[in-house]
Amino acid sequence: MTEQPNLSYIHQLSGGDKNFEEKLLIVLKHELPEEITQYRKNLKKKEFDAASSNIHKIKHKISILGLEKSYKVAEAYEDELREGNDDRAREFEEILRTMLAFIQQT
């Protein structure tokens, strides 16, 4: 995966308010791992509708971290899961790992 997370959108959204940026990052660091854990549990149990709902929540964080291509992958995967197709699971997992590594370092 060549696309890397960044804070550009967060900086743009905050208008330079560092306190706002900090609070948003705290929310990301708290919510993202929980949402990913829930997604993985649902995927493992083959509960594709629930996993699709998890992806819907995660998509917003993908967008916040400036991952435009990954957002499109998530969008397609969300729809495919609703149809019972988990072929993009490995590709999506790579996106999740990249995001987790980034927020842990931020």
Residues 46-56 have pLDDT tens digits of 999 999 999 99
1, pLDDT greater than 60: no
2, pLDDT greater than 80: no
- At 35, the pLDDT band (50, 70, 90 cuts) reads very high
Write down the pLDDT at residue 101.
97
Place of tokens 């708290």: 30
39, pLDDT greater than 70: yes
Place of tokens 């629930």: 50
Q: How far is CA 92 from CA 5, 64, 74, 76, in A?
A: 14, 17, 7, 10
| Mean pLDDT taken over the chain | 97
d(CA 67, CA 47): 26
For the chain, the domains span: 8-105
For the entire predicted model, the pTM comes to 0.93
8-105: which CATH topology? Answer: Four Helix Bundle (Hemerythrin (Met), subunit A) (1.20.120)
